[in-house]
Each structure stands twice: as C-alpha cells, then as structure tokens.
C-alpha cells in the first residue's frame, strides 16, 4: 500500500502543512484539504473515492476545486464518503449555492458531479482493492479515523482527535498493522487549547502511542499546526520513542 501526505505550502512544503489529504495508491483520498490543488487535473482524476474524516475546512477546503477539476465527459464524478454528520455539513455548509454551487444536485450533461455515500462506524467499505473501516474518534464534531487494509497489511489514519480509545482497541487487534498516522496539532504550551478543541500535543500524543501498545508499529505524527510546527517537532523528538516519527510530507510511504 502506497501512502502520501500531500504538500500544501508553496514556499516550504516539506515543513509547513496547512490542509490534510492522504493519497492511498494514487486512487483513494483520505480527506480533501489539499486534494484540489495537488498536481494536475489528470492526476486528480485517478482519485475516484474520497473518504472524509470530518467536516472541518482543513479537511474539506479544496473538495469543490477537486470535483471541478475531475469533471469528465461521459462519466460520473467521484464518490465522497463520510458520516451522516459530515455529509449533512457538505450539503448545508459547502454545496449550498452560497459557498459553492450545489454540486450534489447539479449535473454535467446526464452525469452526476459526485455521489455521496454515508459511512457507518465500524462497517468496512471495499474500494480499489482496499478495505476501509471508519472508527469513531474524539473531536469537536463527529469524526472518523480509518483502518485501511490490503492483502499485505493495514495502516491507521487517525483523523483529528483528542485522547481516544476505540481506535486503539481495533488497531491493537490487527496482527498485520504496519503504521499509524496520528495527529499532533499543538505544542505542549497550548495543551489547554488542544484539550478544548479535541486535539493532541506531544505529551498526549505519547499517551495514545502507549494505548496502541505496539512498539513494532511505526507511528507518524501529522497535522502539526504550521504556526508551532518547529516546537512540536522538537517536543516529539524529545520523547525519544524509537517508533515515533514526524510524517514526511510528499514522501511515498510503501507498507
């Protein structure tokens, strides 16, 4: 399984990250924060399924741009998968004709611009040789982490989350778990803000790694708020945990 965290800074893309999108095998996107500004329309067109963790803008911001870029004569647009709450937000807050035209109802000729597909917690979905299982995590709004599996192994992408439990119960039970991508949004000095907004700091990040209880699994930190990313990187390094890394932006990980 190939996983890439798409870059979103035009000046310092290796270190600064603003909007979340992971590409899986170039065909499936987890979140659409930076999907619509990635590469070319032709490359974006390979993505036929977008799984949204939740409705916050850093995860959905360029979904409309992506959907516009991949419009093609003679075929329907991609499937956009999310919880009932996330899909309701897309309808009410994004595709409402004010923020963006109502792409849910608009058509290109006879073709749909997208299909909305509702996810249920812990009900796996199979797409492009992958099995993707949404698991509820702990954030300001209903949010899923995803367990992504193929024949070789599985990878967990946490979504935005504060301290959580169910995701680790499920991850621990996966014998073939290869890697976890876990958010680390704020530096420890902002622990109050992290707590109130349902995010992690390096200290609480480490507690989640302990809950996972698997030293044989790589844990890659992502979603480092750009304003404090140097501090977060330093604090993660100071943890001195051998299986904890900062996710490299735009690297193609192969698991």
| Residue 17 engages Zn ion in binding (rule: CB under 5 A) | no
**Bridge partners of residue 246, in order along the sequence:** 221
Closest approach of Zn ion to the CB of residue 18, in Å: 10
Using the contact rule CB under 5 A, the part of the chain among 106-114, 152-160, 209-217, 232-240 near Zn ion is 152-160
Query: Where in 18-37 is the site for Zn ion (CB under 5 A)?
Result: none
The answer to whether 23 touches 139, Cβ cutoff 8 Å, is no
Radius of gyration of the chain (CA): 17
Using the contact rule CB under 5 A, the part of the chain among 114-122, 144-152, 156-164, 237-245 near Zn ion is 156-164
The smaller minimum CB distance to Zn ion, of residues 77 and 142, is found at: 142
Pairing between β-strand 130-136 and β-strand 107-108 as defined by DSSP bridges: unpaired
Give the CA distances from residue 184 to residues 96, 128, 202, in Å, rounded to whole numbers and listed in that order.
Answer: 32, 29, 6
Using the contact rule CB under 5 A, the part of the chain among 50-58, 64-72, 110-118, 208-216 near Zn ion is 50-58
Q: Return the number of other C-beta atoms located less than 10 Å from residue 175's C-beta.
A: 7
Choose which of 136, 149, 160, 208 interacts with Zn ion (CB under 5 A).
Answer: 160
The smaller minimum CB distance to Zn ion, of residues 45 and 138, is found at: 138
Residue 54, φ and ψ in degrees, nearest 5: -170, -175
89-103 burial by CB neighbour count: b if 16+ within 10 A, else e? bbeeebbeeeebeeb
Using the contact rule CB under 5 A, the part of the chain among 65-73, 99-107, 145-153, 155-163 near Zn ion is 155-163
Choose which of 7, 19, 32, 58 interacts with Zn ion (CB under 5 A).
Answer: 58
The answer to whether 66 touches 89, Cβ cutoff 8 Å, is no
Binding-site size, Zn ion (CB under 5 A): 3
Closest approach of Zn ion to the CB of residue 104, in Å: 22
The smaller minimum CB distance to Zn ion, of residues 113 and 143, is found at: 143
Closest approach of Zn ion to the CB of residue 222, in Å: 10
Nearest to 153 by CA among 133, 170, 132, 174: 174
| Residue 56 engages Zn ion in binding (rule: CB under 5 A) | yes
The smaller minimum CB distance to Zn ion, of residues 78 and 198, is found at: 198
The smaller minimum CB distance to Zn ion, of residues 57 and 237, is found at: 57
The smaller minimum CB distance to Zn ion, of residues 49 and 160, is found at: 160
The smaller minimum CB distance to Zn ion, of residues 18 and 108, is found at: 18
Closest approach of Zn ion to the CB of residue 160, in Å: 4
Positions in the binding site for Zn ion (CB under 5 A): 56, 58, 160
């Amino acid at each position: 399984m190939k996983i890439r965290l798409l870059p979103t800074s035009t000046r310092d893309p290796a270190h600064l990250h603003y909007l979340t999108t992971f590409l899986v095998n170039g065909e499936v996107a987890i979140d659409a924060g930076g999907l619509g500004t990635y590469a070319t329309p032709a490359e974006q067109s390979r993505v036929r399924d977008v799984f949204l963790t939740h409705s916050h803008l850093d995860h959905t911001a360029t979904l409309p741009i992506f959907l516009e870029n991949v419009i093609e004569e003679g075929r329907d647009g991609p499937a956009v998968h999310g919880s009932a709450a996330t899909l309701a937000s897309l309808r009410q807050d994004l595709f409402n004709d004010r923020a963006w035209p109502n792409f849910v109802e608009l058509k290109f000729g006879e073709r749909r611009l997208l299909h909305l597909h509702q996810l249920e917690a812990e009900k796996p979905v199979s797409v492009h040789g992958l099995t993707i299982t949404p698991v509820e995590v702990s954030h300001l709004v209903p949010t899923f982490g995803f367990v992504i599996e193929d024949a070789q192994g599985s990878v967990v992408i946490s979504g935005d989350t504060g301290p959580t439990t169910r995701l680790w119960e499920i991850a621990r039970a996966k014998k073939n778990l290869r890697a976890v991508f876990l958010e680390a949004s704020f530096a420890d000095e902002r622990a109050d803000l992290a707590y109130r907004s349902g995010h992690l700091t390096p200290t609480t990040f480490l507690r989640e790694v302990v809950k996972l209880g698997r030293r044989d699994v790589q844990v890659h930190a992502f979603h480092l708020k750009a304003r404090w990313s140097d501090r977060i990187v330093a604090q993660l390094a100071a943890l001195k945990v051998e299986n904890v890394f900062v996710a490299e932006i735009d690297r193609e990980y192969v698991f």
